[in-house]
Amino acid sequence: MVEEHRHPFLKGLSKHRGAPPTAIVIFGASGDLTSRKLIPAMYNLAVDNLLPSDFFLVGYGRKPIPDEEYRAHAQRSVDEFSRRSMNTEIWDRMGSQVFYQSGGYDDPDAFLQLAKRLESLEKEVGRTLQLLFYISTPPQVFGSILKNLGLSGLAKRNINTPLFTKVIVEKPFGKDLSTAQRLNQVILQQFEEKQVYRIDHYLGKETVQDLLVHRFANAIFEPIWKREFVDCVQITVAEELGVGSRGGYYDQSGALRDMIQNHTMQLLSLIAMEPPVSLDPEAIRDEKVKVIKAIQPLALNVEDSDVVRARYDAGLIGGNPVPGYLDAKGIPDDSATETYAALRLSINNWRWKGVPFYLRSGKRMARRVSEIAIQFKRPPGILFSEGTRFDLAPNTMVLRIQPDEGSTLLLNAKVPGLETRTQPVKMHFHYETTFGSNTPEAYERLILDSMIGDNTLFIRGDETEASWKLVTPVLEHWSACGVDGLEKYAAGSWGPLASERLLWTNGHEWRRPGF
């Protein structure tokens, strides 16, 4: 039995850090993301007493579903996907406030009916609710939903009060610069920028949030976080999985759009940005935009290109044979889509001038891992430089995003014995060992932040356009080339040889991720 004094949500109080009474409307209510991530995230917020007492979840979709049936669907989602087991007392309280509204995404009348449903909830509790619309649908209907939120009056409701409407938009934020600009135009026709939360779940991960703490709460790091001491930076986002049942979607996207333009660029901006003047969300987002705009255009039509793309062939994953990309369901035989992309970036500012940033992401790679490696310059070859007894490696700070979240510092140490010999050693910090394994999931933090109006971990419109401005010329170049220049790599490897050559130019090599 849960004690009421420990769970204010059960008795109608709120231990929340400022969230007003809220109704969240999820467009795409029966979708995979909603079932696997969003509903379990809200349940875990309830367990942690972080939902306001007057909290409502309204699922919206085309298929008519009775409220009770949708509540049962939501309960099954919690049972199957929540990081915590079901607490029936908490769920009974939360489940009684789950509803469903059917209607088309392009039907203005359906949105008027939605507005009436929300008004009836407000009458029921006798107070005004903050409205939070979560667009978890295919991007083809983003425009219709945004337009109808505007036509129904829901978008600008209470705009001049603290309870103004908010909207969360899932990626992709366009497929190139022009479509991203058009999407931002559509959004800003109905909403003000302060109302918009462009969500990238990577920013909700604990270790991504910890990047700012690593840099700015530890005085030993920030003084050497610059070109005088850093030799290169490597960012890897690797997946073991192939395209699975997403072949049709993925073939229209590819690794550059699917991972690098968003997730990987977010990691780069946090690791490379200048210190913000405060923890104010806009101060942090200003610095992220500045560093992305400082990245130099990529060289494409030269022998020493800044980009490499490749597609996986058949190989071994975990000792088991897996087919190549062209054998996956939904992939045309003449596909020129990359499943691996690597970039060499140069940031033209005072801090990073001359320091190469290497980014790579791919499917069917040797292991699933996301990490940032800051490799420092070697000491001058005066001591410990002669003979084979000195095994030295460059000092490297590795920040692991997933899995085995934590950080490692690579140092050189003396091997015990009468002879002076050296060997690289690693100092480890693991989140699970220090803080336990039941870490909140990314969507819990992001939904919570959107309710309280903290947009630090969300992407601003000019930020997504700056990122697309960098990668769109690459996409256009690859489209013009077709399969020419599309390298191959075996599933279960770390990518094509061409990506190694990307680093050899500067005397570097890719690390093999692993603590």
d(CA 189, CA 147): 8
Contacts of 378 (CB under 8 A, 6+ apart): 231, 392, 394
d(CA 204, CA 442): 4
d(CA 228, CA 376): 9
**For residue 211, with 0-12 CB atoms within 10 Å meaning exposed, 13-18 middle and 19 or more buried, which class applies?**
buried
70 three-state secondary structure: helix
d(CA 284, CA 291): 11
Instruction: Give the C-alpha distances (Å, rounded to integers) separating 369 from 116, 236, 406, 409, 494.
Output: 47, 7, 12, 17, 11
Q: Are strands 406-414 and 396-402 parallel, antiparallel or unpaired?
A: antiparallel
Show which residues are catalytic: 263
Which tokens hold the place of 243? 């395209």
DSSP H or E stretch at residue 216: helix 206-216
Contacts of 443 (CB under 8 A, 6+ apart): 37, 38, 41, 201, 204
Residue 465 region, left (φ>0) first, then alpha (ψ -120 to 50), else beta? alpha
d(CA 307, CA 427): 33
CB 357 within 8 A of CB 232: yes
Instruction: Give the C-alpha distances (Å, rounded to integers) separating 324 from 243, 247, 309, 315, 492.
Output: 10, 12, 16, 7, 11
d(CA 360, CA 307): 10
